[in-house]
Structure 1
Amino acid sequence: MNPAWRLILLGLIWAAPLAAAPAPWYLWQSKLDSKLVCLQTSPGHGWVQIKGPFKDNNCRH
């Protein structure tokens, strides 16, 4: 393998984790009783996303 390709491959492997970011948080409301929860993914059927994305798990920022 060409030394230049080795450097490129090594750089890509090293840089990949640096590109990762935390998943955003969303405010979800229940259709059944209007309860609110802050989650990164849908709690399931019967829930509607009403605000987001947020950076924290309190859905404030």
Structure 2
Amino acid sequence: MRTLLFTALLALSLPGLAAPAPFFLWQSKVDGHLTCAQVSPGDGWIAFTGPFRDAGCRVPYDAPVRSR
């Protein structure tokens, strides 16, 4: 019983340790438009640069995190 409880608590706590997915700047193959997203917007887009920490694709992923 104790093992089952420990396993359940461990399984429930693991998602809290996951890091957010990085953002990438994607470029349209059609008109060169740029957009920032965590996943590809579709077949007509290629990864332009990244990864970034923020949704505006301004802070590089390897930059140190500042406390607020």
Q: Which of 1 and 2 has higher RCO (CA within 8 Å, sep 6+)?
A: 1
Deviation at 1:13, TM superposition (A): 3.0
Identity of aligned residues (%): 49
User: Which segments of 5 or more consecutive residues in structure 1 lack a partner in the other structure?
Assistant: none
CA RMSD across the alignment = 1.6
Amino acid at match of 2:34: L
Change (3 A) 1:38 1:7: same
Distance in 2 (alpha carbons) for counterparts of 1:9 and 1:26: 36
Runs of 4+ in 1 over 6 A off after TM superposition: none
Q: How many residues align structurally?
A: 59
TM-score normalised by length of structure 2: 0.71
Normalised by the size of structure 1, how large is the TM-score? 0.77
Q: Which has the larger radius of gyration?
A: 1
Deviations 1:16-49 (A, max 9, x none): 1221221111000011110000011111111110
2:6 to 5, 8, 21: 8
Unaligned runs of 5+ in 2: 60-68
Considering fraction of residues, name the structure with more helix. 1
